[in-house]
């Protein structure tokens, strides 16, 4: 990928705040850098929103709410459809932009752009399917009318690991339902969200419906918005620790809240599994997004009779992956997002090795510049290793063993998290029994990917609540109103 092409793509993205339909500098005049994690160099700078900017964005959303809620559903749906077509048409540039700010290989960025666009298309079709009900009261004499109405101004805090898809997964249903919004993208990766905002603006989204406020002071800017009585909805994707804080803050206004938080996904391989298919699934579940995904397989529990064979096959596949700058041809694995994140991965691997784990492949840094880490497989991982309880968020696969189905389920559930679990078996009864026994909001059965815009995404326990995507996704942005009609 040429440097000229990279500069051209970056220069085409607005880097100011979007408030009330206007691109403007931060009130302080300050800007913050966006870094290329493959080189450590600054790609560009972005306006650094202040508390005042955040409240101005909320004011713009509140002002636009009534007129946007009154916009016919068909118009809202057609706007989303135009945005879907524009994102699809610009996918090459958007993918390169994402790789420059986040690091993943361009082919993975293209996959995310396609995934992100599908939320726009899915909810363009859902916009016209919002409906209520009408029924006769059981005792007669009156009628029961229910209707669905938009929740109102919403605040979205999106993560750095899927900088566009996590945006469209929130923005698209809000637009379809008739809600206005303020979006605070992660400071590591604001460019994809700013590019998406420009596309939605060009697709005809009215001023004030979408407001974007990148900032390097996330907590300071977010809290006044959350505590403001004009806000009616909060949606956050990120760590459980931050989610708990935001839930506490949201209680003052009794906000509608949806939380997609941390994960610790177990990957169960039973003795009767197709091992080649299980390894294929493991590569998808572990290495998507360099392992920096809440859905990433975090720990591999493999039946003792097939553990050695599975581990060898997985290590062979992991060792064959090409690590490098995501813009280079043939690269499979890009850098981690930051030096801090790479340091966390190193600590977890070192802790596991200190406790007796064997490094089968990988196990260290690679490259002279950027935040690269080798795809790693660890065997003989002890139960007290930190990476079995903490989210790794990197290209590391720890393998442990089990002997019975009950033990496998118990090991899988031995975590405060419950986002997703993966199960590989050819026994239908086992598949159903284990799927029902797992404490997770989603299960990948003989599948290494569960994400689908047409399916409800979300977890249980400390992985959060609420669902994004599917028919359920738009319900997060709708209130149910009941009207009693007397017929004497």
Q: What is the pLDDT of residue 57?
A: 98
Q: Which stretch of DSSP H or E encloses residue 397?
A: strand 396-402
Residue 434 pLDDT > 90 = yes
pLDDT digits (tens, 9 = 90+) for 362-403: 999 998 899 999 999 999 999 999 999 999 999 999 999 999
Residue 70 pLDDT > 90 = yes
What's the CA gap between 444 and 441, in Å, rounded? Answer: 10
Written as one string, the DSSP assignment of 27-86 is TT--EEEEEETTTTEEEEEEE---HHHHHHHHHHHHHHHHHHHTS-HHHHHHHHHHHHHH
244 contacts 77 by C-beta, under 8 angstroms:
no
349 contacts 387 by C-beta, under 8 angstroms:
yes
Give the Cβ contact number of residue 52 at 10 Å. 13
Domain with CATH 3.40.605.10 in the chain: 3-261+463-483
Token pair, residue 155, equals: 């605040």
Hey, which residues are catalytic here?
Answer: 260
Considering the domain 265-445 in this protein, what is its CATH number?
3.40.309.10
Q: Which stretch of DSSP H or E encloses residue 311?
A: helix 307-319
Task: Tell me the CA distances in angstroms from 353 to 295, 339, 418, one per residue in order.
Answer: 24, 21, 26
Return mean pLDDT, the chain.
97
Q: What is the pLDDT of residue 1?
A: 62
Domain with CATH 3.40.309.10 in the chain: 265-445
Instruction: Please give the average per-residue pLDDT across 459-486, as a whole number.
Output: 97
pLDDT digits (tens, 9 = 90+) for 195-253: 999 999 999 999 999 999 999 999 999 999 999 999 999 999 999 999 999 999 999 99
6 contacts 327 by C-beta, under 8 angstroms:
yes
**3 state SS of 236:** strand
Instruction: Please give the average per-residue pLDDT across 318-331, as a whole number.
Output: 96
Q: How confident is the model at residue 91 (pLDDT cuts 50, 70, 90)?
A: very high
Q: What is the pLDDT of residue 488?
A: 80
Between 3.40.605.10, 3.40.30.10, 1.10.1060.10, 2.40.50.140, what CATH number should domain 3-261+463-483 receive? 3.40.605.10
Q: Which stretch of DSSP H or E encloses residue 360?
A: strand 358-361
- The DSSP output letter for 426 is S
Q: How confident is the model at residue 316 (pLDDT cuts 50, 70, 90)?
A: very high
Phi, psi for residue 243 in degrees, rounded to 5: -60, -40
395 contacts 287 by C-beta, under 8 angstroms:
yes
pLDDT digits (tens, 9 = 90+) for 152-211: 999 999 999 999 999 999 999 999 999 999 999 999 999 999 999 999 999 999 999 999
259 contacts 462 by C-beta, under 8 angstroms:
no
């Amino acid at each position: 990928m040429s440097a000229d092409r990279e500069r051209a793509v970056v220069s085409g993205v607005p880097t100011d705040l979007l408030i009330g339909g206007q691109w403007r500098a931060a009130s302080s005049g300050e800007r913050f850098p966006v870094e290329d994690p493959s080189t450590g160099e600054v790609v560009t700078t972005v306006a650094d929103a202040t508390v005042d900017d955040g409240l101005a964005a909320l004011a713009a959303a509140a002002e636009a709410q009534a007129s946007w809620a009154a916009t016919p559903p068909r118009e809202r749906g057609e706007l989303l459809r135009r945005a879907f077509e524009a994102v699809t048409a610009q996918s090459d540039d958007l993918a390169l932009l994402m790789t420059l700010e986040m690091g993943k290989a361009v082919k993975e960025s293209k996959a995310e752009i396609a995934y992100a666009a599908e939320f726009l298309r899915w909810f363009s079709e859902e916009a016209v399917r919002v409906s209520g009900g009408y029924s006769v009261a059981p005792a007669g004499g009156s009628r029961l009318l229910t209707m669905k109405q938009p929740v109102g101004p919403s605040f979205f805090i999106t993560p750095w690991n899927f900088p566009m898809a996590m945006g469209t997964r929130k923005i698209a249903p809000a637009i379809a339902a008739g809600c206005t919004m303020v979006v605070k993208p992660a400071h590591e990766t604001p460019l994809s969200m700013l590019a998406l905002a420009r596309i939605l603006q060009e697709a005809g989204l009215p001023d004030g419906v979408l407001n974007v406020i990148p900032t390097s002071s996330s907590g300071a800017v977010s809290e006044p918005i959350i505590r403001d009585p004009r806000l009616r909805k909060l949606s956050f994707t990120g760590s459980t620790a931050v989610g708990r804080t935001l839930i506490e803050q949201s209680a003052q206004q009794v906000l509608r809240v949806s939380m997609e938080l941390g994960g610790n996904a177990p990957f169960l391989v039973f003795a009767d599994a197709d091992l080649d298919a299980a390894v294929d699934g493991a590569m998808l579940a572990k290495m998507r997004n360099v392992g920096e995904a809440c859905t990433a397989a975090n720990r591999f529990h493999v039946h003792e009779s097939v553990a050695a064979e599975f581990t060898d096959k997985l290590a062979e596949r992991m060792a064959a992956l090409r690590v490098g700058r995501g813009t280079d041809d043939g690269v499979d694995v890009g850098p981690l997002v930051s030096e801090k994140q790479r340091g966390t991965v190193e600590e977890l691997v070192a802790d596991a090795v200190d406790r007796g784990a064997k490094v089968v492949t990988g196990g260290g840094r690679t490259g002279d510049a950027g935040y690269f880490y080798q795809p790693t497989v660890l065997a003989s991982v002890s139960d007290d290793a930190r990476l079995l309880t903490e989210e790794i968020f990197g290209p590391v696969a720890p393998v442990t063993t089990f002997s019975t189905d009950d033990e496998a389920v118990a090991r899988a559930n031995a975590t405060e998290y419950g986002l997703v679990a993966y199960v590989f078996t050819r026994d239908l009864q086992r598949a159903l029994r284990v799927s029902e026994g797992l404490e997770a909001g989603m299960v990948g059965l003989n599948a290494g990917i569960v994400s689908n815009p047409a399916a409800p995404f979300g977890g249980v326990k400390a992985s959060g609540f609420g669902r994004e995507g599917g028919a359920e996704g738009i319900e997060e942005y709708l209130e149910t109103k009941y009207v009693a009609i007397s017929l004497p």
